[in-house]
Structure 1
Amino acid sequence: MTDIVPMPAQSDNADRPDLPHNLSAEAAVIGSILYDNNAFQRVADILRPSDFYAPAHEEIYAACQLLIQNGRVADGVTLREQFEKDERLTNIGGAQYLAELLDSAAFGPEVQDYARIIRDLAMRRELINIGAGVQSRAMVPDRETDGSQQVELAERELFALAERGSTGRGFSTFGEALTESLQMAEAAFKRDGKIAGIATRLDDLDHKMGGLHSSDLIILAGRPSMGKTSLVTNIAYNVAADYRGEKLEDGSTKTIAGGKVAFFSLEMSSEQLATRILAERTGINAHKIRQGDLDKYDFEKLRDATEELQNLPLYIDDQGGISVSQLAARARRLQRSVGIDLIIIDYIQLLSGTSGKSDVNRVQEVTQITTTLKALAKELSVPVIGLSQLSRAVEQRDDKRPQLSDLRESGSIEQDADVVMFVYRESYYLERTEPQADPNDPASSDKWTAWRQRMDDVYGTAEVILGKQRHGPIGKVVLAFDANITRFGNLDRQPRGDFDE
């Protein structure tokens, strides 16, 4: 392979000959493509035109890409015609240089090795540029961009570069997919409860969903006072309390039960969230804890529970007013530092989009938020539970059980979510519609008796309605609910059919 250097042209690299590059590898890849256009298919997933250091190589590769993708042949003749028409032939060293590239062609599988070398060197150059940009921005005071925003920008740039460095797994054979499916089924068979995902320890919900599945975006919605935050707080505790991991030979830790939980509490403070969990674990009303209305026995229970929960792998971020890109950056950072198995967001309407443009309407912004959250679930391979508000349309109906159309900005939320479930407590509405019983009016007395009977039937229960589920059936499950300590739990065992629709 001949080491040839193309004619110089203006580029960002022209003044930086010290930047990492390998002109011979670049010439070998382009020569291979010119010799046999099938070589392009072997490197197309690895390289893009901007990965080439030499401006001439960048232009030639881009021209080859355009011709081949349009079903034309890319060789010395067609490229010469293309560049002469655009009056750029001299920019690439003339027709002679196209002929010389053929002498540098790589043959066989080594063309992919050369392509990976080119990509690696391009990443190194980009890393140098990012570092220079970070230094430049930090040196020049900018009133509109403070230090924390500069850190976030640097993180985004580095993460984008890291994503560029990963070519992904690409296609897998059907046999490989079948093997993975069998392994998942085997893990579920061996696991307590026979579920494939992370157990919430709400047995009927686990039975219906198969647990919380990696890469799923799960939306939990409900009207105010239905208990959305209480339910995800209970799930967060159950998953974190169940956590068990084992050390692998490479020093990493593999989760074998439960999980480490990242809880983004955009509405409540971490102290309020911790108080809820303490109330749930001790049975002491959260209001009494906040007011300090405790006796000695209560205080001892709180102290013991605090010691028990001290090392719970539950990480709370209560910073309000953040964008979805900031949330994603913080989740990635936590994943790198401690590893996480579940992300919870309370709630998605409190997030802002990444554009920060005032002319973007809310529906577009929520679309951006849900798309980013779904991508984050796939990227980190963890389930993401996002709480969502419902519109007031629910209150206008006689049957106040929520449905998919009640989701605010429902189009994008319903489309991006793998699971949509609603919390509904009939007792909340019933207790506000108690009929007046008149001893002199048998009909009103009958109404009150029927109301009382229904209240007795639904008191201490809550429904979780699955309005959408990609992996399984829709329907509902009934959970126990203790309003005094806002705790969801399993009902006393009854035939499971009583809970399914």
Structure 2
Amino acid sequence: MPDDGRQDTSQRVSGSLPPQDLDAEQATLGSMLLDNSAASQAVNTLTAEDFYRQAHQQVFAAMYRVAERGEPVDLVTVAAELRRMDQLEEVGGGEYLLALMQLVPTTAHIGLYADIVAQKSLLRKLISAGADIQAMAYDNPDDVGALLDRAEAKIFQLAERRVSSDFEHIGPLVTETFDKLDEAYRRSGSMSGIPTGLKGLDKLTQGMQNGDLVIVAGRPSMGKTSLAINNLGLHAAISAKVPVGIFSLEMSKMMLTESMLCSLAKVNSWRLRQGMGHEQDWQRIGQALSVLPDAPIYIDDTPGLPIMELRSKARRLKARSDIGLIIVDYLQLIGGETRGTYENRHQEVSGVARALKGVARELDIPIVVLSQLSRRVEQRENKRPILSDLAESGSIEAEADVVTFLFRPAYYKQREAREKAAQQGETPPPEAAEDMDTPDQAEIIIAKHRNGPVGTVDVIFDKKYRVFADIDPYA
């Protein structure tokens, strides 16, 4: 094969010295020996493996052990610890420790020195992860998807360390908090979060807040998807101009788009699918088509999506389209981090809820997650849901900032009427025969609100258009 001038990556980097900065390593260790507060800062920032030179790894590990015992980190204690581990001569003896102290221009820059060491360590770890990924790819595995998951996991492990935060003094936090409160005062009652489009709900929650995990739960047929997609999602994207990402693990992209289109157009989708659309319906569809295609809405309908892949896609979508809201339909369909990691489904759902809360905080956007309720609701006379009804995991309640339940009393009355007719030997009317033209009164129950009041919002559920509305227009 003729040489085209290109060179394999492994050939280009072979023989190259891995990224490192020995001067920064020496300055870090010397600062730690000179200043105990510098030692405390570095111990909380670095690990021994962040150092490239083995002798520096041993010196730092000795410093760490000394600090862990509550002893001061200085020339005497560190030399004694290295001597105890039979490593003092390996690192160069007491003379090298003294030389480290003399090399430091000032201990005031310990943060900068340690950051350089950490960045070089991260680059070496990226090279190592890349080599591992390359080796796995050369093995030519049958399951390429599993390989991608493992590759992303290696990179995410490095990314999680990079984005982790440390203690911050309260002074700047107080200033930032005051600025937010002052801004809220100047807004004179306007929304602090992304509006939902439902006045009563917005009054209780002040909209969907950045960093919040919002759970929308209910039994089947309560309208969870309709509320999340046709109300919260459409209103955010079209009225508030907030880009929205939707992970639909149950419905396909086409079904979801049809639902949004018909809801926005105020057209009965069932009638359209039967070929029974009226001329007025098509006029409304045309009007909706002038709006919906340009809405900043992005849909992923991958079934059984693992939380690790969901997190990866959310990060990429945030970077690419600056999404301000994520909707997930629904929680119990998301796979855990790794198969076999959890002892039971309860632990897996808990882990997924915890991870979703982490994504909300990392991306600083609200995440609305739909959740099923346990069947216990159906076994009691009062069907109105409570927090203990959350399916499979009480930790959903613990992780969530807002827990919202949907309840439609008319649904249960209609079901009881069918069951009663069947018991009396009568032919019960089919469910499809319920009056689609008569809206149901529904309740949006805020059962938990970490930063605000709880309560119930009375709304109307329009079954024809699969959308919730304020009760006032129907009064």
TM-score with structure 1 setting the length? 0.83
1:157-306 → structure 2 map (5 Å cutoff): 157-166=154-163, 168=165, 170-174=167-171, 176-189=172-185, 194-233=190-229, 234-244=231-241, 259-306=242-289
**CA separation in 1, counterparts of 2:184 and 2:441?**
29
Q: Deviations along 1:103-126, whole A, 9 cap, x unmatched?
A: 223423122222222122222222
Match of 1:63 in 2: 62
Go from structure 1 to structure 2 and tell me whether the alpha carbon gap of 1:359 and 1:208 turns closer, same or farther (over 3 Å shift): closer
Between stretches 485-494 and 473-482, larger displacement belongs to 485-494
Go from structure 1 to structure 2 and tell me whether the alpha carbon gap of 1:179 and 1:113 turns closer, same or farther (over 3 Å shift): closer
Go from structure 1 to structure 2 and tell me whether the alpha carbon gap of 1:241 and 1:191 turns closer, same or farther (over 3 Å shift): farther
Match of 1:254 in 2: none
SS state of the match for residue 201, structure 1?
coil
SS state of the match for residue 410, structure 1?
coil
1:421-440 → structure 2 map (5 Å cutoff): 421-434=404-417
Q: Deviations along 1:396-427, whole A, 9 cap, x unmatched?
A: 11111000011112321011111111000001
Aligned residues: 445
Q: CA deviation at 1:167?
A: 5.8
Give, as a single letter, the amino acid of the residue that structure 2 aligns with 1:212. Answer: M
Match of 1:480 in 2: 460
Go from structure 1 to structure 2 and tell me whether the alpha carbon gap of 1:368 and 1:75 turns closer, same or farther (over 3 Å shift): same
**CA separation in 2, counterparts of 1:55 and 1:484?**
70
**CA separation in 1, counterparts of 2:364 and 2:167?**
16
**CA separation in 2, counterparts of 1:354 and 1:165?**
20
**CA separation in 1, counterparts of 2:439 and 2:84?**
80
Between stretches 313-322 and 162-171, larger displacement belongs to 162-171
Match of 1:469 in 2: 449
Q: Deviations along 1:295-344, whole A, 9 cap, x unmatched?
A: 44433432332232111111111000111111111100100111110111
Q: Deviations along 1:52-103, whole A, 9 cap, x unmatched?
A: 1011111211221221132112333333332333333343233433333232
Q: Which runs of 5+ in 2 are unaligned?
A: 1-13, 421-434
SS state of the match for residue 354, structure 1?
coil
Select which of 372, 378, 381 maps to 1:389: 372
Identical positions, percent: 37
Match of 1:9 in 2: none
**CA separation in 2, counterparts of 1:358 and 1:95?**
47
Q: CA deviation at 1:17?
A: 6.8
**CA separation in 2, counterparts of 1:411 and 1:280?**
33
**CA separation in 2, counterparts of 1:494 and 1:432?**
24
Instruction: Tell me, yes or no, if structure 1 residue 348 matches structure 2 residue 347.
Output: no
**CA separation in 2, counterparts of 1:228 and 1:348?**
12
Match of 1:139 in 2: 138
Match of 2:293 in 1: 310
SS state of the match for residue 472, structure 2?
coil
Contact 1:374 1:417 in 2 (8 A): yes
**CA separation in 1, counterparts of 2:165 and 2:67?**
23
Q: Deviations along 1:357-414, whole A, 9 cap, x unmatched?
A: 1762111111110110011000000011111111111111111100001111232101
Q: CA deviation at 1:355?
A: 1.9
Go from structure 1 to structure 2 and tell me whether the alpha carbon gap of 1:225 and 1:113 turns closer, same or farther (over 3 Å shift): same
Instruction: Tell me, yes or no, if structure 1 residue 321 matches structure 2 residue 287.
Output: no
Contact 2:59 2:82 in 1 (8 A): no
**CA separation in 1, counterparts of 2:239 and 2:189?**
13
Give, as a single letter, the amino acid of the residue that structure 2 aligns with 1:463. Answer: E
Q: CA deviation at 1:493?
A: 6.6
TM-score with structure 2 setting the length? 0.87
Match of 2:427 in 1: none
Go from structure 1 to structure 2 and tell me whether the alpha carbon gap of 1:47 and 1:358 turns closer, same or farther (over 3 Å shift): closer
**CA separation in 2, counterparts of 1:66 and 1:178?**
36
Q: CA RMSD in A?
A: 2.6
1:384-423 → structure 2 map (5 Å cutoff): 384-423=367-406
Give, as a single letter, the amino acid of the residue that structure 2 aligns with 1:275. Answer: E
**CA separation in 1, counterparts of 2:181 and 2:474?**
27
Between stretches 191-200 and 263-272, larger displacement belongs to 191-200
**CA separation in 2, counterparts of 1:88 and 1:17?**
29
**CA separation in 2, counterparts of 1:139 and 1:435?**
62
Give, as a single letter, the amino acid of the residue that structure 1 aligns with 2:454. Answer: I
Structure 1 runs of 4+ off > 6 angstroms? none
Go from structure 1 to structure 2 and tell me whether the alpha carbon gap of 1:16 and 1:43 turns closer, same or farther (over 3 Å shift): farther
Between stretches 413-422 and 273-282, larger displacement belongs to 273-282
SS state of the match for residue 416, structure 2?
coil
Match of 2:103 in 1: 104
**CA separation in 2, counterparts of 1:295 and 1:474?**
43
**CA separation in 2, counterparts of 1:337 and 1:158?**
19
Contact 2:195 2:240 in 1 (8 A): no
Give, as a single letter, the amino acid of the residue that structure 1 aligns with 2:237. Answer: A
Match of 2:362 in 1: 379
Contact 2:266 2:284 in 1 (8 A): no
Q: CA deviation at 1:436?
A: 12
Give, as a single letter, the amino acid of the residue that structure 1 aligns with 2:192. Answer: A
**CA separation in 2, counterparts of 1:434 and 1:190?**
53
Q: Say which structure is richer in helix.
A: 2
Give, as a single letter, the amino acid of the residue that structure 2 aligns with 1:489. Answer: A
Go from structure 1 to structure 2 and tell me whether the alpha carbon gap of 1:167 and 1:359 turns closer, same or farther (over 3 Å shift): closer
Between stretches 420-429 and 150-159, larger displacement belongs to 150-159
**CA separation in 1, counterparts of 2:334 and 2:320?**
24
SS state of the match for residue 315, structure 1?
strand
**CA separation in 2, counterparts of 1:220 and 1:299?**
32
SS state of the match for residue 476, structure 1?
strand
Match of 1:72 in 2: 71
Select which of 367, 370, 377 maps to 2:353: 370
Go from structure 1 to structure 2 and tell me whether the alpha carbon gap of 1:228 and 1:126 turns closer, same or farther (over 3 Å shift): same
Between stretches 227-236 and 276-285, larger displacement belongs to 276-285
Go from structure 1 to structure 2 and tell me whether the alpha carbon gap of 1:410 and 1:154 turns closer, same or farther (over 3 Å shift): closer
Contact 1:217 1:373 in 2 (8 A): yes
